[in-house]
Amino acid sequence: MLKSKKLRVLSILMAVLMVLSVFSVITAFADDDEESERGWFVKNTYTLKAGEAKKLGFVNQGHGPDTWYSSNNKIAFFKNEDSSGTIYGLKKGKITVSMWDTNGEKYTCTVKVTTNPKLSKKSITVEKGKKATVKIIGKSALVKNVYKNTNIAKVVSKKTAKKIKIKGLKKGKTTLKIKVNGVTLKLKVKVKE
């Protein structure tokens, strides 16, 4: 009789252990499913030039990108926080991009802008009353230029221009300041008769 009680207790103990082991296997599979739903950036670091736009590669597993954030909008920015992940480079520097998916999970990557905007020429000569053209390299189409003119020469182009026209006003030498993507560029201008 004592032997049968021991066998019964041992049987119950074995049944409890089997139930616990099955439960731990089910829990492990559930944890794997949750982990497999997590997304990731295709790269840890993305590079782009000033004026360039690049879509950041993100692989989602059920919860798509929802909100994008740049740690410094003066270096690179998103047109809309809820955009498709396209970032626009403005000037040389490094930022951290944070992205939250529709489940509230946060992901990060690094973006490096490798160049500053620049002018195709550092100096020009123009005749009084005439115009000369200078190209802006690395200008973002989403940011307006700011021009600081003088009484000797002035920029006569729209603030969205990638090619600017400089008009000579009177004989002399001057330096025009042209702010592109937040970077101030200088252009030496000589106006002759």
pLDDT at residue 60, as a whole number: 75
Using CA of residue 50, residue 188, residue 161, residue 132, what is the dihedral sign?
negative
Strands (E), 71-122: 76-78, 86-89, 93-101, 106-113, 118-119
Q: How many domains does the chain have?
A: 2
- Which two structure tokens, joined as six digits, stand for 143? 């940011």
The CATH number assigned to the domain holding 183 equals 2.60.40.10
**How many other C-beta atoms are found inside a 10 Å radius of the C-beta of residue 91?**
20
Q: What is the pLDDT of residues 152-185, one digit of tens each?
A: 999 999 999 999 999 999 999 999 999 999 999 9
Judge whether 57 and 42 are in contact, CB under 8 Å. Answer: yes
52 and 100, same domain (yes or no) = yes
125 and 166, same domain (yes or no) = yes
pLDDT at residue 188, as a whole number: 97
Residue holding tokens 């101030």?
A: 184
Q: Residue 44 domain-assigned?
A: yes
Q: Residue 33 domain-assigned?
A: no
87 and 125, same domain (yes or no) = no
105 and 129, same domain (yes or no) = no
188 and 156, same domain (yes or no) = yes
- Which two structure tokens, joined as six digits, stand for 152? 């000797």
78-82, 85-89, 96-100, 172-176 — most confident range:
172-176
pLDDT higher than threshold 70 for residue 20 = no
Q: Residue 18 domain-assigned?
A: no
List the end-to-end C-alpha distance of the chain, in Å, as a whole number. Answer: 124
Least-confidence region, from 6-20, 87-101, 135-149, 173-187: 6-20
d(CA 23, CA 41): 34
Question: Which residue range(s) make up the domain with 138?
Answer: 118-192
- Which two structure tokens, joined as six digits, stand for 94? 């490094």
Place 39 in a pLDDT band, splitting at 50, 70 and 90.
confident
Concatenate the DSSP letters of all residues of 127-144 into one string: EBT-EEEEEEES--TTS-
57 and 89, same domain (yes or no) = yes
d(CA 45, CA 105): 19
Q: What is the pLDDT of residues 110-139, one digit of tens each?
A: 999 999 999 999 999 999 999 999 999 999
